[in-house]
Amino acid sequence: MKRRQLITQGLAATAALAALPRRALAQAYPNKPVRVIVPFVAGGSSDIVARTVAPKLQAAFGQNIVVENKPGANGALAAEYVMRSPPDGYTFMVGSIGTFAINAALYAKLPYDPLKDLEPLTLAVTTPNVLVAHPAFPANTVKELIAYAKKNPGKVSYASSGTGSSDHLSAELFKLQTGTFGVHVPYRGGAAAMSDLMGGNVDTSFQNLGAAIGHIRSGRLKALGVTSTERVRQLPDVATVSEQGLPGFVVTSWQAFMGPRGLPRDVLARLNAELVNALNAPDVRERFAQMAFDVVANKPEEFADFQRKEIARWRDVVKQKGLALE
């Protein structure tokens, strides 16, 4: 009799547990520190997004949020690391258009598939690129740069945050459309590229406006043009590249959050909800607005659809321009 009662009580407890709302089960996550992997060195756009959002996540989760930089191979090293991490919500990453879209379009061999191996969490922000130069560089506009590059073939250098980044492809498109040639100097992130640019070790670079705008305002860099369709409110006196003789030259960069494929649905929903809340916090939106980051903060399925379209778009560009790499 006692045994039958124990079995009955056990079944009742199991049924009660199963009947708990999925939201309640999700609230058990997280119960230990969470790591956010950044695929570039500190100071670049991905790092800025991660470190701006981290305090909000920490307050919401009641757990430490550890931002960890793992630079290399335009985000491929970090993406592979996250791909191989347990899909439990305790390790995810923020990355760029290069990491989550352009790499797949540019490289024939990649250690991860951004569509199959990573789980979309949310598209965080978008921003145009800006063509910047060292203050002592002789050109002050896009037209002057084109004239100088044609007069001095092979003497103009341009830095990028890594081969396959949006700033790298911006420069490659610029060279193709203008018939100029420049020496590509890739770095392990935009911060390192801008550091050498400000030091006068390289001449020019296309950089995310959000990461470069502080250096432009301080006079450590000068802006020659922005890659948006219209002038940006943060730099109203800087003309677009399109209006300076290259119609249709538009490149929009973005940052997004992704985790390892196979996250439990409850954990995925909690992560998306807290990331969206953090990105939409008034002080976060204000800080991003000052840096020319436009907050998106959408649902995983919306970001997944956007990502597929971006990969297809850049595959077309790479094919048309013959930019594919091994």
Helix axes 142-151, 166-178, angle to 10 degrees: 70
pLDDT band, residue 6 (cuts 50/70/90): very low
C-alpha to C-alpha distance for 159 and 107, rounded to whole angstroms: 20
Is residue 240 pLDDT above 80, yes or no?
yes
Better pLDDT: 248 or 84: 84
What domains appear along the chain, each with residue ranges and CATH number? 33-125+254-321 (3.40.190.150), 128-244 (3.40.190.10)
Residues 53 and 81: beta-carbon distance below 8 Å: no
C-alpha to C-alpha distance for 180 and 321, rounded to whole angstroms: 14
What is the per-residue pLDDT for 19?
41
Q: What is the mean pLDDT of residues 111-126?
A: 97
- Between vectors from CA 52 to CA 105 and to CA 32, what angle results, nearest 5°? 90
What is the per-residue pLDDT for 27?
57
Q: What is the mean pLDDT of residues 305-319?
A: 90
What is the per-residue pLDDT for 28?
87
What is the per-residue pLDDT for 107?
87
pLDDT band, residue 324 (cuts 50/70/90): low
DSSP 88-114: SSSEEEEEEHIIIIIHHHHBS--SS-T
C-alpha to C-alpha distance for 205 and 219, rounded to whole angstroms: 15
pLDDT in tens, 138-197: 999 999 999 999 999 999 999 998 887 888 888 988 988 899 988 999 998 888 899 999
Token digits for 75? 């985000």
Residues 120 and 297: beta-carbon distance below 8 Å: no
Is residue 65 pLDDT above 80, yes or no?
yes
Under DSSP, is residue 20 helix (H, G, I), strand (E, B) or coil?
A: coil
What is the per-residue pLDDT for 167?
86
Q: What is the mean pLDDT of residues 116-133?
A: 96
- Tell me the sheet residues that pair with 260: 118
pTM score, two decimals?
A: 0.81
Nearest to 140 by CA among 252, 82, 225, 73: 225
What is the per-residue pLDDT for 326?
56
Burial (0-12, 13-18, 19+ Cβ within 10 Å), 179:
exposed
pLDDT in tens, 207-231: 989 889 999 999 999 999 999 999 9
The separation between CA 202 and the C-alpha centre of its own chain, rounded to angstroms, equals 23
What is the per-residue pLDDT for 172?
85
Helix axes 282-290, 45-61, angle to 10 degrees: 170
Q: How far is CA 90 from CA 108, 129, 197, 199, 261, in A?
A: 31, 32, 36, 38, 13
What is the per-residue pLDDT for 317?
79
Average pLDDT in the chain:
90
Q: Which residues contact 88 (CB under 8 A, 6 or more apart)?
A: 263, 264, 267
Nearest to 168 by CA among 4, 318, 6: 318
Q: Which residues contact 55 (CB under 8 A, 6 or more apart)?
A: 65
- What kind and span of H or E run contains 273? helix 265-279
Q: Which residue has the tokens 């997280």?
A: 30
What is the per-residue pLDDT for 54?
98
Better pLDDT: 72 or 202: 202
Is residue 1 pLDDT above 80, yes or no?
no
Q: Which DSSP symbol is given to 165?
A: S
pLDDT in tens, 87-96: 999 999 999 9
